[in-house]
Structure 1
Amino acid sequence: MADDAGDDPATERTGETPDDATPADGEADAGAAGADGDETTATGASAAAEPSDGADAEAADDRSGADAASDGSPPGPDVGADAPGDVPRDVRKYDRFQKMDRAEYDRVNEFLRDRTYVTAREWAIARLCADFRTETGVEMTKIGENLPRLVPFMTDTYTPQAVNQARASFEEKVRKAGATFLYGAMCGFFTAEDLDDMMYEVTEVAKFLLEVEGVDLAVEEELAAEDRISTVMRDVREASAEVRGEEVKCPECGHVHEP
């Protein structure tokens, strides 16, 4: 609108239109009429320029909205358009990952890949699936639409299908890692001391991830959990030794020969 308004006054000021052309003989009446025309043109230019202020204001509002969207607003469909009241109450109150408020995805992903088989997105979505589970199942849509609000280092929204894919990937990796670990514990490759050391290391990583999620573990609880895990692993080793010794167990006396 401002551009269209600017074209007409410029044309009038240059005197290129037939209405504003002055006679060549320079008569006084024509000169006076030309002066009046200039004043009218100036007034018209001012009036025509006034709407451009509104256009500038609208453009400024658009720019300020774009700047606000780029200052930390998570990307995704209609982000920033919803009022705080439109965000579900349980999403607004969710504070699992507040300790990672300024963390970057790549740093989190690197830490996890060095110590586990899962990625940062699989870890975050697995946690959310556990927290947003109802009697009818996991709230995939709610998790995906509010992912950047729930997890600081996730910067985009997910479809329900993408959430389900990450959840399934996490489950598959845990199952494979569990089978690998249990085989190592049962096959006799590790001694009892090796298993104790290994369980201490992996327990420390698991506890760290829980603490990052906001779980507050007391020292007594940590020690009790470590004792229970060690007891379970000793039982697993003893049970697996019996399984491995079944083939050399004497059917007469029941004596078990070491494999």
Structure 2
Amino acid sequence: MTDDPAPTADFDDETAGTERETESTESNERPEQVTKSAESSESTDSTDSTGSTDSTDSTDSLDQDVADEVPEDVRKYERFKKMDGAQYDRVNSFLRERTYITAREWAIARLCADFRTETGVEMTKIGKNLPRLIPFMTDTYTPQAVNQARSSFEGKVKQSGATFLYGAMCGFFTAEELDEMMYEVTEVAKFLLEVEGVDLSVEDELEAEDRISRVMREVRKESAQLRSEEVECPECGHVHEP
């Protein structure tokens, strides 16, 4: 088989993004002027100190209130951390070149799987906290928008699955070509899982590839038999082998 496909390296470059720079303003503060009288200086120091403390306490209290509004499972969500700084357009371009899904559909499908409960998917929570959960998503979504993206993902998976299975069953590809194709698409799928945060060992990867290869060989064998059994002339009813 060939080496791992180039998409991994390309995607690493694309998702690197622009590093966020934090500038400190403390070094730009003017030194305290002490040319005034001691009484005036003490009064100024007291006012500045009090004001600074009140402002800090107020900011900390506001940040704490905002943090308290974020559900605990959202705060602890660890997927997609490898994509900090990634831009949506670049992630979307990578996916569109190699899959049928968009970055929006990919992210929301993953979240719908992770935030599924016994009664359904927590779409309100997903939409409200989308920018906190996915680094390359910048806007919140309504529950309806989350559901639409999930439905779009499901529809594309079904369509692409039907297309692939037809290609595998119709006899267009040889067994070797089909095996090579499965290797290539599996590498892309594994890369997406790794970006999400799934830790795949070499043993697990090899075992998964072997299972997939066995399944596809069985699909080709059964489909060949199916074609032989069902090739019938619509005019005379004669059955023949393709």
Out of 152, 156, 168, the residue aligned to residue 139 of structure 2 is 156
Q: Give the CA deviation at 1:248.
A: 5.7
Q: Give the CA deviation at 1:128.
A: 0.1
Partner of 1:91: 74
1:224 paired to 2:231: no
Out of 126, 129, 146, the residue aligned to residue 146 of structure 1 is 129
Q: Give the CA deviation at 1:257.
A: 6.1
Partner of 1:112: 95
**Aligned equivalents of 2:102, 2:207: Cα separation in 1:** 29
Q: Deviations over 1:40-80 (max 9, x none)?
A: xxxxxxxxxxxxxxxxx9xxx9xxx9xxxxxxxxxxxxxx7
Which residues of structure 1 form unaligned runs of 5+? 1-56, 66-79, 250-255
Equivalent residue runs for 1:17-96 within 5 Å? 82-96=65-79
SS of the equivalent of 2:141 reads coil
Letter matched to residue 143 of structure 2: P
1:188 paired to 2:166: no
Partner of 2:48: none
SS of the equivalent of 1:83 reads helix
**Aligned equivalents of 1:165, 1:148: Cα separation in 2:** 18
1:200 paired to 2:183: yes
**Aligned equivalents of 1:207, 1:229: Cα separation in 2:** 13
Out of 175, 178, 182, the residue aligned to residue 158 of structure 2 is 175
**Aligned equivalents of 1:190, 1:203: Cα separation in 2:** 17
Structure with larger Rg: 1
Identity %: 79
**Aligned equivalents of 1:248, 1:142: Cα separation in 2:** 52
Query: Which one has more relative contact order, counting CA pairs under 8 Å at least 6 apart?
Result: 2
Q: Deviations over 1:125-179 (max 9, x none)?
A: 0000000000000000000000000000000000000000000000000000000
Distance 1:107 1:129, change over 3 A: same
TM-score by length of 1: 0.66
Partner of 1:165: 148
Letter matched to residue 229 of structure 2: E
**Aligned equivalents of 2:180, 2:101: Cα separation in 1:** 22
**Aligned equivalents of 1:190, 1:81: Cα separation in 2:** 59
Aligned residues: 178
Instruction: Kindly report the root-mean-square deviation, in angstroms, between the aligned alpha carbons of the 2 structures.
Output: 2.0
Which residues of structure 2 form unaligned runs of 5+? 1-50, 233-238
Q: Give the CA deviation at 1:247.
A: 3.2
Letter matched to residue 90 of structure 2: R
